[in-house]
A = this chain, B = another copy of it.
């Protein structure tokens, strides 16, 4: 819209920048429950201005998350040329988890309709991951019965697991990435009990704690 039609007014551009910065910080600190009002206050602008730039809170979140996703995809692409395919995959997972410490992307796996540009970027990222996984597999670094989807699904697990320990050391997640990655190795291990799922997602599912619009598809929970 504004970005294509006109060059955007000077003050508007400034506001947009500090809005994005504030949103990133706020989402990182409070999670998806961060309120638009708080973000606006932090950015030093009025709440109305937020909605002028992004018609919806979800769109704001999408904007914040977009470059992280693109960055991850770029990293994956770079790592696809590294000789040691196994090490490349591990490094990617390391980087992914590391960045999740700052902002949870896990909802990306389900939110099929967050934003057109975002879901496009997500698609690219998933494709790059697929390349990484298949290379690692061809190199014998991970077992043959692993599908790229599996890695995508497990990608966020280390961060999630660690999010439950109170004063977690900043790199505790590496421990769990280590365990999970060892589970991907071809060493011992019998056959897996279930085939991988078809796809991660493409239907509209909402990020948890975001908008209680429909009857909600229900995250299965104990």
| Interface, chain A (partner B; CB < 8 A) | 27-33, 65, 68, 99-106, 109-110, 146, 150, 153-154, 156-157, 159-166, 168-169, 171-172, 174-185, 187-190, 192-197, 199-203, 205, 208-209, 212, 216, 218-222
Asked, given contacts A28-B220, A188-B188, whether A174 binds B193 with beta carbons under 8 Å apart, the answer is yes
Measured between alpha carbons, how far is A173 from B192 in the docked complex, in Å?
11
Measured between alpha carbons, how far is A208 from B29 in the docked complex, in Å?
13
Smallest CB–CB gap between A170 and chain B, Å?
9
B contact residues around A159 at 8 Å (CB): 220, 222
B contact residues around A156 at 8 Å (CB): 222
Determine if B157 and A161 form an interchain contact, defined as CB atoms under 8 angstroms apart.
Answer: yes
B contact residues around A171 at 8 Å (CB): 193-194
B contact residues around A190 at 8 Å (CB): 178
Measured between alpha carbons, how far is A169 from B196 in the docked complex, in Å?
10
